Chain A
Amino acid sequence: MSAINSNIPEGELTTKWTKFKSSVPLVNPSNKRSLEIIVVGSGLAGASAAATLAEMGYKVKCFCFQDSPRRAHSIAAQGGINAAKNYQNDGDSTYRLFYDTIKGGDYRAREANVHRLAEVSANIIDQCVAQGVPLAREYGGLLDNRSFGGTQVQRTFYAAGQTGQQLLLGAYSALERQIGMGKVEMFTRHEMLEVVKIDGKARGIIARNLITGELERHFGHAVVLGTGGYGNVFYLSTNAMGSNVTAAWKANKQGAFFANPCYTQIHPTCIPVSGDHQSKLTLMSESLRNDGRIWVPKKKDDTRKASEIPEDERDYYLERRYPAFGNLVPRDVASRAAKERCDAGYGVGASKLAVYLDFKANTERYGKIEAAKAGIQNPDKETCMRLGTAVVKEKYGNLFDMYAQITGENPYETPMRIYPAVHYTMGGLWVDYNLMTTVPGLYCTGEANFSDHGANRLGASALMQGLADGYFVLPYTIGQYLSKEISVKAIPTDHPAFAEAEAKAKGILDTLIGIKGTKSVDHFHKKLGLIMWDKCGMARNAEGLKSAIAEIQQLKKDFWSDVRVPGSADEYNPELEKAGRVADFIELGELMCIDALNRNESCGGHFREEYQTEEGEALRDDEGYAYVAAWENKGDGNFELHKEELKFENIKIAQRSYK
């Protein structure tokens, strides 16, 4: 069990995927009808996979915990989706997207997977436009693009600040079409609580009907998890409140290795925390960095209002430190730079844990262009600001409204205050080139797997990966496995393996209800979040991680002896759902710290204070750590490390520089 094989096809990088597609065994249409696939999760990865598999003729069952697949958290993604279309004629290509992604991921992603992602990226845009997704257009009627961090070309397609919403609704409509035709059976308000394994293969799941509390057994020849990320381990994050790790974690307990859990992306532009009541954090899209300039006062503890600080007393620290990329450096670099300035005493706002994101200069610049278009000679500043504001409103209006709503401040008049926050998790279940986990027949897609982003995710690449996996990768690769399963008849769910898995799930629910302690689930979740943010957050060190592990172990004991879950297990009981998820977050949190402690280097979203350059940049150790850390769960908080060595044959590993 200890050897892991990534199953990367032989041959030249640029032809691997094409060759794979033309040589992979196929399943004939009549056999597809008798093969059943379970898809858990209905976001970009899950919905696109479920719809596409059903179009191909497989029998599909799809599950989500929300009331509708349209609520999946992919819907909240704001800024955009990358694709190597080179519509802007600025030198983009499949290779350049591949290169930017590998470099942006700090050389901790698999070359073959990332190249495939870059290859299919162009098809994603075509597919979505064909579905009626209203991506932004230019006046000539062609698609518009903008830039995101870590790149010097404009390859990001978008729909105002609601790109995730539009792409998800596209995938959702494809899914609903299949549901309407009876080719997908949809189970909403259902949560997967166990993977069922028979003879070593994934053969189904135990799901709880969240309304009735009933445990259900579902068979599938294969099971696909597209269940999203686990950023909520930090309690405060930009994730939706319901986002959780439960399905992936139960899979880990069933033998699916968990890869690179310590890689958490901290997004640089979030609305800062305003008080201890806060339940979640809200992102301001990275696209704002196209037109916003980031600065802090040059003077420490400057209490003046932003408007009272003259130009020459402002420190545009990203432009100063990284002249080539400026405000568009990648997220990990921008986040650390903000933390550095705030830690050094230059933060702004009441908490001093914020920096300014200022649109004034670009608003005025846009205003000048608009004035020229309208034939206004020598426009005054006020006219420029008025005309420019209209342009900014069109580009980012919903984000500005959201900011105003949350903070009570008008961002058109005063600069936004922003601070980094937990956003996206690059770690997840280990998968091979086929997106299969270490459990045969169990697949994992989108944010829930570890595969394409390395130690850091560039902006606008999560939507790309979710849809690439669901529309264009999994539907091909799963055929390889299923072609060998055509003679397997549907296994009746009274099989002992189903009974055993159901009993296990029931045991956990009954235990949680039975503890009848004194503290709420949120109490434990908040405590876990603080430990994780302080000791396994934007910066980590060995001492802190060791103490975090001890604290989490204690927290686990306290949780299982003192949590209070009201109500019963046979009714609609959101507190019980939360309790199960927090129990899993606690165990995962421990593994995240173990993983961070093991990785004696800094890379991407993992910044170990002991390993940094003299200028405070992340210092990788490619000799010792150019591997994927895949953790096997041995039970009782014991994990065994397996290493997948990363080979860079097409890109020369180099120190990342954005200067």
Chain B
Amino acid sequence: MSTGNMNLTLKVWRQKNTKDKGKMVDYKVADISPDMSFLEMFDVLNEDLITKGDDPIVFDHDCREGICGMCSMFINGRPHGPKDAVTTCQLHMRSFKDGDTIVVEPWRAKAFPVIKDLTVDRSAFDRVIAAGGFISVNTGNAQDANNLPIPKAQADAAFEAAACIGCGACVATCKNASAMLFVSAKISQLALLPQGQPERYKRVQNMVAQMDAEGFGNCTNTGACEAECPKGISLENIARMNRDYYSAKFISEEEG
């Protein structure tokens, strides 16, 4: 397949399974087009490996439109690569130069164990949501949606927090492997809306407890998560989460 003229060296983390030690392996790729996405470049490499009888590199990906949050590569020391505010599937080879050496690793965090090669287990995120990242409303008894007007600014702020795709870049880039950006985004979204008020303080306590139980580290306000988030989720959410968390302590004491 000759579609371009970029030649690159890749250093890729290979690890057979969770128990295997894993190591970096070098690969050469040739004739890469600058219009390819980073994952399409990997497709070309894998096609080559399969034809040669080698095992292809396993990586998570699905929508390839930057929204499902599945792709998860650490590229040259940054989650989702060198560009700001994009996922790996939306990173194109025009962001690299002919002759570059590119280092590719899986997400690095104890709470995200490697499954194989570049694929990690992010189910801890689901368990955090299951602990409280919802509004307890059963199907079929909702009131008319316009009965409760929500100021536009508030709805927009909730939407901005809700835009999180759960990719885990925030965890992967944090020196403490903290999940606070992810967790606070959901807490913020629901705390900003009138529908989220009844469970607001219970929610923050439950979700934070689960986050800790999963083995994520704490936040030390370094801000790498915000800088590397492909969806621009703001640190303000962490501030809001902390405020609600402390409020919850007092509220539950009063109620208790």
Of all chain A residues, the one with the shortest Cβ separation from B35 is: A274
The contact string, 1 if C-beta is below 8 Å from chain A, for chain B 43-59, is 11001001101111010
Using C-beta atoms within 8 Å of the partner chain, give the interface range for chain A: 35 or more
Interface 0/1 of A63-90, CB less than 8 Å to B: 0001111110101100000000101000
User: B145 near A143 (CB under 8 angstroms)?
Assistant: yes
Q: Are A126 and B143 in contact (CB under 8 A)?
A: yes
Count A-B pairs with CB separation below 8 Å. 226
Q: Do A280 and B166 touch across chains, with their CB atoms under 8 A apart?
A: no
Task: Evaluate contact between B3 and A566: CB separation under 8 angstroms.
Answer: no
Q: Which residue of B lies closest to A239 (CB)?
A: B63
| Nearest residue, chain A, Cβ from B91 | A405
List, in ascending order, chain B residues with CB within 8 A of A559's CB.
Answer: none
Within 8 A of A (CB), among B177-212: 189-190, 193, 195-196
Docked Cα-Cα span, A143 to B159, in Å, equals 13
- Check B67–A165 contact: CB distance below 8 A: yes
User: Considering the chains assembled together, what is the distance between the CA atoms of A180 and B130 in angstroms?
Assistant: 5
A612 to B201: give the CA distance in the assembly, Å. Answer: 63
Specify the chain B residue showing the minimal Cβ separation from A275: B3
Determine the distance from Cα of A130 to Cα of B150 in the docked complex, in whole angstroms.
12
A73-B151 Cα distance, complex, nearest whole Å: 30
**A408 to B85, alpha carbons, bound, how many Å?**
15
Contact call A566/B134, Cβ cutoff below 8 A: no
B186: shortest Cβ distance to chain A, in Å? 8
Collect the chain B residues with CB atoms within 8 Å of residue A125's CB: 145
Known A126-B145, A405-B86: A179·B130 in contact at CB below 8 Å: yes
In the assembled complex, which residues on chain B have CB atoms less than 8 Å from the CB atom of A69?
A: 126
The answer to whether B43 touches A279 (Cβ under 8 A) is yes
* Alpha-carbon distance A401/B86, docked complex (angstroms): 10
CB distance from B45 to the nearest CB of A (A): 12
Q: Give chain B residues whose Cβ lies under 8 Å from the Cβ of A162.
A: 67, 163
Binds B, one of A131-139, A441-449, A543-551: A131-139
Q: B70 touching A71 by the CB < 8 A rule?
A: yes
Residues B142 and A126 in contact, CB atoms below 8 Å apart:
yes
Contact of A68 among B126, B135, B136, B151 (CB under 8 A): B126
Are the C-beta atoms of A67 and B122 separated by less than 8 Å?
yes
A311→B148 CA distance, assembly (Å) = 46
Contacting residues, chain A, for B148 (C-beta < 8 A): 129
| Stretch from B97-105, B113-121, B233-241, B246-254 at the A interface | B113-121
Q: Write the nearest CB–CB distance from A602 to chain B, whole angstroms.
A: 31
B55 contact set on A, CB distance < 8 A: 566-567
Residues of chain A within 8 A (CB-CB) of B33 are 275, 277
Task: Assess the A66–B159 pair: CB atoms within 8 A.
Answer: no
8 A Cβ contacts from B69-122 to A: 69-70, 85-86, 90, 92, 94, 115-116, 119, 121-122
Q: Decide if A575 touches B50 in the complex (CB within 8 Å).
A: yes
Q: Is the CB of B159 within 8 A of A160?
A: yes
Residues of B within 8 A of A (CB): 1, 3-4, 17, 33, 35-37, 39-40, 43-44, 47, 50-51, 53-56, 58, 60-70, 85-86, 90, 92, 94, 115-116, 119, 121-123, 125-126, 129-140, 142-146, 148-152, 155-156, 158-159, 162-163, 165-166, 189-190, 193, 195-196
- Extra pairs beyond A130-B137, A165-B67, A276-B3 (12, CB < 8 Å): A71-B63, A73-B62, A132-B158, A132-B193, A136-B155, A172-B129, A173-B135, A180-B131, A241-B64, A275-B33, A408-B92, A475-B139
Residues of A with Cβ closer than 8 Å to B? 48, 51-52, 55, 66-71, 73, 75-76, 85, 87, 123, 125-143, 159-160, 162, 165-166, 169, 172-174, 176-177, 179-180, 186, 188, 211, 238, 240-242, 274-280, 282-283, 401-402, 405-406, 408, 471-472, 475, 518, 520, 522-523, 564, 566-567, 571-572, 574-575
